[in-house]
Amino acid sequence: MTTYAIVNTGGKQYRVQPGDTIRVESLPGDEGDLVELEDVRMVSDEGEVTLGSPTVAGAKVTAEILGRGKAKKIIVFKYKAKTRYRRKNGHRQQYTELRITDISH
């Protein structure tokens, strides 16, 4: 059994454990900085599960910022038949890459 947590950041939930590397929505901070994610929804410590309602009180996940980047481009294409309406747009979402260092509760 290992220690893991479910964290909410950027409107998405991630299952993380120490040593994991995840890509989340862009967060403030520089490369090498430590970030504390305090919106922890669940913690499992050696099989002992603690659920939050909605968050676990006093729990936080510490992560190190590894870098930033942009995801692959997605194409947004709007089209209406028989009316000559076409709109093409592209989007690249910015992300922050994190390495999980510690889970405390």
What does the pLDDT look like over 44-61, one tens digit per residue?
988 899 998 999 999 999
The boundaries of the domain holding residue 96 are 4-104
Residue 84's contacts (CB-CB under 8 Å, 6 or more residues apart) are none
- Predicted TM-score (pTM) of the model is 0.85
- Give the CA diameter of the chain: 61
Q: What pLDDT digit, counting tens, does each position of 74-93 carry?
A: 999 999 999 999 999 999 99
Tokens of 69: 């980047």
**Number of domains the chain contains:** 1
Give the separation between CA 36 and CA 46, rounded to whole angstroms: 22
Query: CB neighbours (10 Å) of residue 37?
Result: 21
What was the pLDDT predicted at 1?
Answer: 59
Closest CA to 59 of 1, 3, 2: 3
